[in-house]
Structure 1
């Protein structure tokens, strides 16, 4: 998918995060988005998936502007900030409830996504008793379980152990090789250096390509 931002500006709580931004992103690449805390990384992701609108300008996915009835683009997998779950249910059941929204996948696809991120599908433990790392894996699983072609991953490696980080890194590289478009933020420069084909920095209300 081609994602194009044209003359995009956005303020948040009276602070200008983006001013007259023009940039395009294509398939088969991992894009690193960097910037200090509060620079607008999460807001950028929310604009890309239609959660919030820019104050000015247009965001388009494959030529279709995100507006009105076309507000939410298809085939987007999203992990932004901390996803919420039903604490009394186990991980598989939580994902199954989410899958019912679009009814695109079966139980086998849910189990496969859980296994890909290192979660046991048959684990009966309630999500409210999950560790932070397990909750993070569950968040990644919901972002990939429907074979989404665009992934917006805001700090996906938070709370993951070393083996889990390597597992997710390998998975993302595989997805890139399949032609998917991946956006990634991380507080760890190593994640950006190892994974990203292009890196953009948010600074002075601009999104500047730095690599």
Structure 2
């Protein structure tokens, strides 16, 4: 049965007494062979705020997200998350929830069983936490259907549940609304706004301008592997 409400851990409460530089990207470039896909990127992101990255396909947004996550090494420059350099001090940010491209799950198992297997790796959450997050993303926690038979929208909801279930400080979501119908988009927007209110830092991309305007404090426009504009929303 789905229920709501849980105490917010002290470690992710909004820290209002000072502005914190949570993500620091300094002179980052990335090459694939002869192709320079990121060109001298410099960005600072504050803890507890939401940032949207926009740009056409091939603009470099997904590559930048993968570099921040530690999935791709930078060619030059450095990326610090919470004061630790990715690829040097740590391989990945220590408290991270992520969706990049299509979430991968074991198709012959249920969504819940997939999350239980992932949860057992870190042992940070209990079975009731999995029930709670499945309810929050709009999935039936008792559903036995294998993921292979899920619709695209159900898979996306499951991916969002996976990203959120361990209550990470940092959420990096590449096109989190892919495959969702109008109702699903509205529900996941509300969910992400709730996470933002808890003090989490959000970095997301979307082709829908309204998603960015509703969720984000600042938008970063990329083109040709470069940051072309940074703009804040009131």
Q: Distance in 2 between matches of 1:80 and 1:33?
A: 13
Q: Which residue of 2 aligns with 1:117?
A: 137
Per-residue Cα deviation, 1:139-190 (whole angstroms, up to 9, x for no partner) = 0000000001110111111111222111111111111111111011111111
Q: Quote the Cα distance in structure 2 between the aligned partners of 1:55 and 1:118.
A: 40
Q: CA deviation at 1:69?
A: 5.9
In structure 1, stretches of 5+ residues that fail to align are none
For 1:15 and 1:35, the matched residues in 2 are separated by 18
- Over the residues paired in the alignment, what is the CA RMSD in angstroms? 1.3
TM-score normalised per structure 1: 0.96
Matched with 1:66 is 86
The question of 1:209 aligning with 2:197 is answered: no
1:88-113 alpha-carbon deviations (Å, 9 max, x no partner): 10000001111111111011111111
3-state SS of paired residue (1:2): strand
What does residue 149 of structure 1 align with?
169
Q: How many residues align?
A: 211
TM-score when normalising by structure 2: 0.86
- What are the ranges of 5 or more consecutive residues in structure 2 without an aligned counterpart? 1-20
Kindly state the Cα deviation for residue 61 of structure 1 after the two structures are TM-superposed.
1.0
Q: Separation in 1 of the partners of 2:166 and 2:64?
A: 23
User: What pairs with 1:69-148 in structure 2 (closer than 5 Å)?
Assistant: 70-148=90-168
In the other structure, the counterpart of 1:11 is 31
- Secondary structure at the residue paired with 1:70? coil
Matches of 1:39 and 1:132 in 2, distance apart? 25
Within 2, Cα distance between the matches of 1:157 and 1:76? Answer: 19
